[in-house]
């Protein structure tokens, strides 16, 4: 069972809780997720099973989309309503002020990870250091907010949608908005609606059903290795080539002779598929289409970056 299942994580559960539940139901040998969601947050969580864990690195840089409910006038230690209240006051700003500051978030920012986050320092998540009374301040990261669409402002709440780069902390963003408005703010609700190619409507909920039905739901939403990487150019290979690739031999010119490679450039990622339509390997091109016909057919022209067991 090699593939990905997109789960609609419920509030109050950690990302690890979801992974642990799926492991209990489907019993894969290897399992992991592609991006932590806070316990308060809901929505898209892609879980990789067995050979699909080798794909996780390709999703690290994926953009994300969220629906955010921000509570103005409240500061907490975790930057969301799950935390302890640090200060509380009536917001002295109007809807226009709130809208202006939220919309000004579009663009690039330097953002430090919150003290309560899963970012690791010396192999241990920041939230564990913080709970032990040790405050670790990591250097800010460069993040970007691409789009913001405000859904509603009904003081003291503001609801909006945004798309952003990897590593963006929505809690930190809301806290910054609150500071700029002079009243403080925290996240009251957060839903991830997209993570890369994985969308909200792809996600399966495990709520309200027993283990048997959960298993059925998970299998119904199973995404194969090949389908998880639909945008990569596909190179079909025969059984002999499949065997050599799985053994780690680098792809040579001869492998490409019966494929349309006219669009390939140096640095492109490609995937090799077996005759029975299974993903064999992912490689990065060392040469472009204009160079390959000039080379000896035994010349390696791509470098394997992931090989998958049959």
**Catalytic residue set:** 38
Characterise 167 by phi-psi region: left (phi > 0), alpha (psi -120 to 50), beta (else): left
- Provide φ and ψ at 202, rounded to 5°: -80, -15
Report how far residue 309's alpha carbon sits from residue 262's, in angstroms, rounded to the nearest whole number: 29
Report how far residue 290's alpha carbon sits from residue 294's, in angstroms, rounded to the nearest whole number: 8
**Residue (of 47, 173, 20, 54) closest to 106 by Cα position:** 173
Q: Which residue has the tokens 């390959």?
A: 292
Please state at what angle helix 15-26 crosses helix 211-220, rounded to 10 degrees: 100
Report how far residue 26's alpha carbon sits from residue 39's, in angstroms, rounded to the nearest whole number: 23
Reported in sequence order, the residue ranges of 14-132 that DSSP labels E, i.e. its strands, are: 31-33, 42-49, 64-72, 74-76, 85-88, 107-111, 120-121, 124-125
Report how far residue 252's alpha carbon sits from residue 296's, in angstroms, rounded to the nearest whole number: 9
Measured in residues, the chain has a length of 310
Instruction: List, as one string, the DSSP characters of 111-174.
Output: EPPPSSSS-EETTEEHHHHHHTT----PPPEEEEEEEEEEEEEETTEEEEEEEE-TT--HHHHH
Which stretch of DSSP H or E encloses residue 244?
helix 239-246
Tokens of residue 136, six digits: 């670790």
């Amino acid at each position: 069972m090699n593939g990905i299942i997109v789960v609609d994580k419920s509030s109050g559960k950690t990302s690890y809780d979801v992974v642990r539940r799926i492991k209990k139901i489907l019993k894969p040998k290897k399992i992991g997720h592609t991006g932590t969601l806070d316990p308060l947050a809901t929505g898209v969580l892609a879980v990789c099973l067995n050979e699909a864990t080798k794909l996780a690195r390709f999703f690290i840089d994926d953009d994300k989309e969220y629906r955010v409910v921000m509570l103005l006038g409240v500061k907490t230690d975790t930057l969301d309503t799950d935390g302890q209240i640090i200060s509380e006051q009536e917001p002295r700003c109007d809807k226009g002020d709130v809208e202006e500051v939220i919309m000004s978030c579009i663009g690039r920012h330097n953002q430090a990870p919150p003290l309560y986050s899963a970012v690791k320092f010396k192999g241990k998540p920041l939230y564990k250091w913080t709970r032990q009374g040790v405050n670790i301040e990591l250097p800010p990261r460069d993040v970007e907010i691409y789009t913001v669409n405000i859904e509603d402002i009904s003081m003291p709440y503001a609801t909006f949608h945004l798309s952003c780069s990897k590593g963006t902390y929505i809690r930190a963003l809301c806290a910054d908005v609150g500071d700029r408005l002079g009243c403080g703010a925290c996240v009251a609700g957060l839903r991830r609606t997209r993570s890369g190619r994985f969308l909200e409507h792809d996600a399966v909920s495990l709520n309200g059903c027993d283990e048997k039905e959960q298993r059925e739901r998970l299998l119904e939403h199973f995404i194969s290795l090949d389908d998880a990487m639909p945008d990569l150019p596909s190179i079909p290979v025969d059984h002999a080539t499949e065997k050599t690739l799985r053994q780690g031999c680098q792809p040579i010119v001869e492998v490409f002779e019966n494929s349309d490679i006219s669009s390939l450039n140096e640095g492109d990622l490609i995937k090799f598929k077996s005759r029975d339509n299974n993903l064999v390997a992912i490689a990065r091109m060392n040469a472009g289409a204009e160079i390959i016909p000039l080379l000896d057919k035994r010349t390696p022209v791509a470098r394997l970056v992931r090989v998958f067991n049959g």
